[in-house]
Every structure is written in C-alpha cells, then in structure tokens.
Chains A and B, each alone.
Chain A
Amino acid sequence: DAGVIQSPRHEVTEMGQEVTLRCKPISGHNSLFWYRQTMMRGLELLIYFNNNVPIDDSGMPEDRFSAKMPNASFSTLKIQPSEPRDSAVYFCASRLRAAGEQYFGPGTRLTVT
C-alpha cells in the first residue's frame, strides 16, 4: 500500500492567491482528517470526514478555508485568499475504523509570502 498521498509536497504562493492541497487516503479507510502544524499551535485538527461526509469542521480557522471529499479516494483543502499566517505544514490522515490509529501523509509545506 502506498500510504496516504499528499500533493504538492511544497507550495509557495503570494498573499491573496488561492491554494489547493490534495489528499488520497489509504484505500478502504473511511475517515479522513486534515491537520495543520505550526510552531505556535502544534498539531491541530482542522476538519474530518466519515464516509465522505464532514463531521466536525470546528477547527477550520476562517471562512477562507474549505474542504471537500467528493469520493472515498480524494479530498481537497482550499484556502482562498491565502495569507502569510497560513504558512504551515498541512497533514492529511486516514483511519480504517473508529477505534484505530490514524495514518498520516508526508504533509504539504505551505509558504505564503
């Protein structure tokens, strides 16, 4: 199994631009999570999906952030417009069952200048 796949691995963009991060969960996993890691706040959950349905988006910082999961094998996290304070590493993770562990992708390092 290839594990959780994220793209791009690195993204550098200018303030005000739209950014789209992509994630392919492990096949068969029915839960998907988006996290953000910063020095100040550590690893924080942004949103997660069960069976492609968003369950809890209370961690999404602002309306500029949106996430979709159109099918079981693909999810996107979009930031529009991006701001320098959005610079962070964004991780996607998937999980097979509620009681199981989460498997993380390699992350996308986003830099907004």
Chain B
Amino acid sequence: DQQVKQNSPSLSVQEGRISILNCDYTNSMFDYFLWYKKYPAEGPTFLISISSIKDKNEDGRFTVFLNKSAKHLSLHIVPSQPGDSAVYFCAASASSSGSARQLTFGSGTQLTVLP
C-alpha cells in the first residue's frame, strides 16, 4: 500500500514557465513533508519542507503548498530553469513516531525543463 503517491512519472516544462509537481498521501498521521531532488548518479538532496501547521512554505523559486483536507501537496518552481531537470521525490513523516520517525517516499517525478 503506497502511502505517498506521485501519480505523474514525468513532466516537461518550457524554461521560464512554472513547474508544478504533485503528491498525495493517505496516512493522516503524516505531519511533516519534504521534497528532494535527485540528479543521475547522485543521492537525493533536500529541497524544501513544510510542517502541517502551515499551508505554504517558500524558498526562492521553490514553494510548497499543503492541503491537509485533501491530503495533497505540491511543489511550484518559478521560473523553471534547465538545471532544475531532475527527479523530484515527495516524502512524509509522522511526529507521533518520536525519535523513531522515518520518511516514506513517493515514486518520484522526472522533471525536464526545455530550453
């Protein structure tokens, strides 16, 4: 049972336009969400996170939106750049697990930004 789902395996966007990556979750105990970016032959790198007490978090060109009622989050990249081309993973965790909290990852979305 996939608790974190990224239903779009790939997304292509023109340079300068907005990229929107989506993620859905089923576990209502999840209260902390993260996005990771992964280039080929490298490990995932942390991009941005959001706690369930917020519905938006912004860091430069990257904004994450959280809709708790819909159990949905999205990552917006504006403007998109060719260097943003990578696989993006959504991840979630539950604070109720305390120090034992771990991340549950989605399957990833390959973003390609076309020049």
Which residue numbers of A lie inside 8 Å of B, CB to CB? Answer: 4, 31, 33, 42-45, 48, 50, 55-56, 91, 93, 98-99, 101-107
Number of interface residues, chain B, beta carbon within 8 A: 23
Q: Is the CB of B100 within 8 A of A104?
A: no
Q: Is the CB of A91 within 8 A of B99?
A: no
Q: Is the CB of A42 within 8 A of B100?
A: no
Report how far A45 CA is from B104 CA in the complex, Å: 8
Q: Is the CB of B32 within 8 A of A99?
A: yes
Which of A42, A45, A98, A101 has most chain B Cβ within 10 Å? A101
Interface pairs A-B: 5 shortest CB-CB: A104-B43, A101-B46, A42-B107, A43-B105, A98-B99
List 15 A-B pairs, Cβ < 8 Å: A31-B99, A43-B105, A43-B108, A91-B43, A91-B44, A98-B95, A98-B98, A98-B99, A98-B100, A98-B101, A102-B46, A102-B103, A103-B46, A106-B43, A107-B41
Partner of A107, one of B43, B99, B103, B108: B43
Is B59 at the interface (CB under 8 A from chain A)? no
- B24-45: which residues lie under 8 A (CB-CB) from chain A? 32, 34, 36, 41-45
